[in-house]
A and B are shown apart, each in its own frame.
Chain A
Amino acid sequence: MTTQARDEIKIGGLGASRKRVEDNRFIRGKGNYVDDIVLPGMLHMEILRSPLAHARIVSIDTSKAWAIPGVRLVLTGEMMATRNLAWMPTLSYDTQAVLATDKVRFQGQEVACVIADDPYIAKDACEAIVVEYEALPVIVNPTQALADGAPLIRDDKENQHDNVVFDWEVGDRDGTERAFAQADLVSKLELHYPRSHPSPMECCGSIADFDRSTSKLTVYMTTQAPHIIRAAVALVAELPEHMIRIVSPDLGGGFGNKVPVYPGYVMSILASILLERPVKWIEDKTGNLISTGFARDIYLKGELALRKDGKILGVRMHTDSDHGAFFSDAQPSKFKIGLMHSAFSCYDIPSAHLTARGVYTNKAPGGVAYRCSFRVTEAMYFQERMVQAAADDLGMDQAEFRRRNFVRDDDFPHRTPFGFLTDSGQYGKCLQVGLEAIGYEDFLKQKEEAKSRGRLLGIGISTMTEPLGAGNSREYDILGIKMFDSAELRVHMTGKAILRTGAKTQGQGHETTWAQIVAHELGIPADDIVVEEGDTDTAPFGMGTYASRSTPVAGAAVAMVSRKVRAKARKLAAHLLEVSEEDIEWELGRFYVRSSPETGVSIQDCAYAAYSNMPDGMEPGLENVAYYDPPNLTWPFACYIATVEVDPQTGVWDVLRFVAVDDCGVRINPMVVEGQIMGGLTEAYAMASMQFITFDAQGNCIGSNYMDYLLPTAWETPGWELHEVVTPCPHHPIGAKGIGECATVGGPAAFVNAVLDAIKDTGVRNIDMPLLPDRVYEAITQRHDVSGAPPVKMDDHD
């Protein structure tokens, strides 16, 4: 057996652009998504949803549905209530209706469900259910929710006398006031970050399978966090935790949409318990778009206190966020508005103050972290729009203004304006790489030249650092459960291995990249390691995959468990080499005797010895488990630069070029990292340009299918030019940081800033996203800001 050290790239270790192992099944059509699973005797569930946004339920007549052949069960809220399951707790300490009992509070809310022999019969039966509603006044935005005499949405809650979910503040109010008093100039901006839906290609679904003979409940479901679901089911359904098995099979994308617990899951579980047969629920696209985890929908009043030389002295923000009918934000921070106060973390600003108010409205529950860490997307969008407006107000170059306010490379660890601790960064370098890549000075000349010929070119910059990888258990938990993660590694006698983690890939490529970390730590070729996730009966406990937390937390656990295994292998090596452990050195894949480097044993030799030739008194086997609680968040940073051309005749804008410079520390698999960045940029472009879900005054969701909710295709999507800066994370075992959502977080402001730069001569300071051509056209021709949030008058209900 060879005892030479391994070439890390050849064995698919750190830094190798290893082709993905999961692709082998996906390209053959052999993925295993929840709708692909068929269990013997399985029944099918469909949900009847409310057509009204706010209405009292007068009666529900299910008799015609029961009469349809093939119908096995019809559930209503009243029946759920007899089992104490009409309501369930949310992840934000609120309650949410599973099936409506008293009234419906948003269009698309679950009113009844049918379980039948096939999905067509179940759908027929849903249409046969007759529900009588008494319509109530509808609230679709915070202005209406906070108005005097506004109808009370959550009359189910004791002590809830208005539509306010929370009032919260953070920062230094007095210090910030003093900063504003000293300012030469105050730059103000009001913005709306519109509602958005993560909309993975695969909708949500579950198959609940309760086996009376063993009392075991198995649920196959679309979840990014199987262990959290197991805990939630144990709490909600009052089943013992060891009798619950959650299996998250292949997921057709998640983007935060598959973190929350949805009523459909709960209904399928109860139906399976009642019928003692497997019950499958597969949501349709409209159901997914109108009822599951929305994101954003938040209004900002922002102010920057500026000195004439371009120094930012203070920042003041107030947000009003629309949470829909139930406060079900799936976010683990102790902060009511998530990590909104991570805004301005890359800038050196002495004082900052944020007030945040959340309200209930008659819209689907919002607040899902859509490809971001709990309001970080909104925070960075607000930040970079405010920074751009401030530079313009000062008449200063936008790149120079950022440079003057960046935290310096030698000023770490750095306390951010709102109190986070950042540990590293090279923001100036990152911006410089971006400016050089785009050819900043040349573009400014081109722009002037184009203007003389009536063409509108613009350039927009967005620079930011964001906190990724929730969390550390001091500051983050979900329902009291701390935010750590785990990995379990078993090395077989032939040196092959299986690795399991409590994370859950949705396309990020864990099956490929986790093996690379093990290869890096142990020298076992990545191809010799199989990775498994998603089954709570086999995977060690973990908090799941969202908030770009897998590499920062689970990935760190993978490195740590590998090191534990290596520590034991070292003892086995000492035994095989007949020297003491202290006389042994490690190089990739091999232990050798320090005084005689040619004498060594491979990690595979050690593995075999663990099963066949262990020293006296040593426990056999070579496996371990590691739980990892990170000391801090990771702080990747980025610079995104867009150049655009706006057509003054139509308001249509095209992206000319887009340069992305990302620093996510050490890249485990550069190919996968770049894939994540390009996917994130496309979602940023989607939000900036077309992705739009809004509501009319009656609370009807406009954007309830892909004909109305536009996602960019290959045709519209710009080409992406990627660059990197590498600043290893100082506390992560392999120096890596999160990356999955940086581009979605930082990207949108670059597009918007670019379009506004192109039309700067009109004096327009803001157009709210999405920058639809009619909005841009209105801004150009009317020369005024275009708000995405026109106030809807209360009497519009009539």
Chain B
Amino acid sequence: MSGLFEEIHEQPAADVPTRRVSITVNGDKRVAQVEPRLLLAHLLRQGLKLTGTHTGCDTTNCGACTVLFDGKPIKSCTMLAVQADGHEVTTVEGLAGASELHPIQEGFKDEHGLQCGFCTPGMMLAAKALLEENPDPTEDEVRWALSGNLCRCTGYQNIVKSVMWAAKKMQAQSAS
């Protein structure tokens, strides 16, 4: 319960089974009772109120719903919430530290890597997974790593620049 009072929906019919899942989301352990068919994206958005994860295409194509699952980028619109039981999930809300933005977030703002912002959370998480594996990528490597995420506004050129900007900053940070 999130407050002193909240409306409780009618119990689901007795023949609808539910499962208890425990997922570490952005470092916090969250426990929920879910229908087995509930998608992870919907648990994050509606259940946990983390609306930064967007659903774009429902078919694993657009990548707006990309989150990190034990550090790897996955599309949360085609993973069931029960499959995430016992795992770690990072969403866009978990990117920034307490006081400062992640270099990838700074890079997207600095290089104008977003317009409508709808694909941005997924793009940034896919970029994070890349930079953790490959801190000094070439432009082609960035393009390939982001090819599971669609953007309709930017034409990608500035997204690539944003990720290169972040890579540079992260390297400088780790050097110091």
Contact = CB atoms under 8 A, between A and B. Distances in A.
Interface of A: 19-20, 22-31, 33, 35-36, 38, 40-41, 69-70, 117-118, 120, 199-203, 250-255, 284-286, 506-509, 671-672, 674-675, 678-683, 705-707, 711, 713-715, 717, 719-720
Contact of B58 (A19, A25, A120, A284): A284
A526 to B, nearest CB: 15
Interface string B34-76: 0101100000011001111111111101101000000000000
A277 B39 CA distance: 26
Contact of B52 (A28, A253, A672): A28
A707 B62 contact: no
26 contacts: A19-B109, A20-B112, A23-B114, A27-B105, A27-B124, A36-B45, A118-B9, A120-B38, A200-B118, A201-B150, A201-B152, A202-B116, A252-B117, A252-B118, A253-B116, A285-B59, A506-B116, A675-B158, A679-B115, A679-B155, A680-B155, A705-B57, A706-B59, A707-B59, A714-B144, A714-B156
A682 B155 contact: yes
Interface residues of B, number: 62
Given A285-B56, A285-B57, A27 B114 contact: yes
Interface stretch (B80-88, B91-99, B167-175): B91-99
Contacts of B156: 682, 713-714, 717
A117 B16 CA distance: 15
Contacts of A681: 155
B146 to A, nearest CB: 5
Contact of B117 (A31, A284, A679): A31
B155 A720 contact: yes
- Name the residue in B38, B45, B92, B144 with the highest tally of chain A Cβ atoms < 10 Å from its Cβ: B92
B18 interface: no
Shortest 5 CB-CB contacts between residues of A and residues of B:
A29-B52, A252-B118, A26-B117, A507-B116, A29-B92
A508 B115 contact: yes
Given A26-B120, A671-B112, A33 B54 contact: yes
Nearest to B106: A27
Contacts of A41: 7
B76 to A, nearest CB: 13
Contacts of A25: 117
A682 B154 CA distance: 8
B25 interface: no
B119 to A, nearest CB: 5
Contacts of A682: 154-156
A117 B9 CA distance: 8
Contacts of B144: 714-715
Given A19-B110, A29-B50, A509-B115, 16 more contacts: A28-B95, A28-B105, A29-B121, A33-B54, A35-B55, A41-B7, A69-B10, A200-B116, A201-B54, A253-B153, A285-B62, A678-B154, A680-B155, A705-B59, A706-B62, A714-B156
Contacts of A672: 112
A413 B147 CA distance: 47
Contacts of B117: 22-23, 25-27, 31, 250, 252, 507
Contacts of A22: 117
Nearest to A28: B96
B147 A713 contact: yes
Interface in B123-145: 124, 142-144
B164 interface: no
Interface string B1-29: 00000010110110000000000000000
A25 to B, nearest CB: 8
Given A33-B54, A720-B157, A28 B118 contact: no
